[in-house]
Chains A and B, each alone.
Chain A
Amino acid sequence: MLLSIIYKEWLKVRLFWGIALVLNIAVFVYLFVDIRHLFTIEHAEMIWYQAFKIGTLHYAYMKYLLVITGVIIGAAQYTPEMIGHRFRLSLHLPVRPNSMVLWCVLTGLFGVAVIGMLDAFMLYTIIARFFPHEGAESALLTALPWFFSGLIAYLGIALTAMEPRLSRKFVYLAIAGGFLCLFYQGNDYETYNRALWKPALISLLFIPSIILPAYRYRNRSS
Chain B
Amino acid sequence: MENVIEVENLTHCYGKRVIYEDLNFTVPRGSIFGLLGKNGVGKTTLIKILMGFLRPVSGRCRVLGEASHNLSPVARSRIGLLFEGHLAYEFMSIAQIEKFYSAHYPTWNRDLYYGLVDRLDLPYDHKIKNMSCGQRSQVVLGLIFAQNPELMILDDYSMGLDAGYRRLFLEYLSEYVKDGTKTVFVTSHIVQDLENLVNEVMFLDRGGEILQTSLDEFMTGFKQFRFKRNGSTNTLHRDDVIRNLDITGDNASVFSFLSMAKVGAHLAEMGIETAGLEQVPMTLEDAFIGLTGKY
What is A's interface to B at a CB cutoff of 8 Å? Answer: 1, 3-4, 7-8, 11-12, 80, 84-86, 88-89, 91-96, 218-222
- Tell me the dominant secondary structure on chain B's binding face: loop
> Could you list some 25 contacts between A and B, CB below 8 A?
A4-B99, A4-B104, A7-B103, A11-B91, A12-B91, A80-B89, A80-B90, A86-B88, A89-B83, A89-B87, A89-B88, A91-B53, A92-B51, A92-B76, A93-B73, A93-B76, A96-B73, A218-B52, A218-B53, A219-B55, A219-B69, A220-B54, A220-B55, A221-B57, A222-B14
Of B79, B81, B89, which one neighbours A8 at CB under 8 angstroms? B89
A-chain residues with CB within 8 Å of residue B99 when the two chains form the complex: 4, 7
Contact assessment for B73 and A3 in the assembled complex, using a CB-CB cutoff below 8 Å: no
Determine how close the nearest CB of chain B comes to the CB of A163; give it in whole angstroms: 15
Given the contacts A94-B105, A221-B54, A11 and B88 also touching, CB distance less than 8 Å: no
Interface residues on B, range: 20 to 34
Nearest CB of chain A from residue B107's CB, rounded to whole Å: 12
B79 to chain A, nearest CB (A): 8
Q: Is the CB of A221 within 8 A of B83?
A: no
Residue B100 CB within 8 A of the other chain = yes
A4-B99, A11-B91 given; name 8 further pairs at CB < 8 Å.
Answer: A7-B99, A86-B88, A92-B79, A93-B76, A94-B74, A94-B77, A94-B105, A219-B55
| Given A11-B91, A86-B89, A218-B52, also A95-B57 (CB < 8 A) | no
Give the complex CA separation of A88 and B53 in angstroms.
7
Instruction: Check A84–B87 contact: CB distance below 8 A.
Output: yes
Q: How far is the CA of A196 from the CA of B99 in the complex (A)?
A: 43
Q: Which of B9-61 contact A (CB under 8 A)?
A: 14-15, 51-57
A172: min CB distance to chain B, Å = 21
A1-B104, A3-B103, A95-B73 known; A11 vs B96 contact (CB < 8 Å): yes
Residues of chain A within 8 A (CB-CB) of B264 are: none
Chain B residue with the shortest CB-CB distance to A85:
B87
CB distance from A27 to the nearest CB of B (A): 27
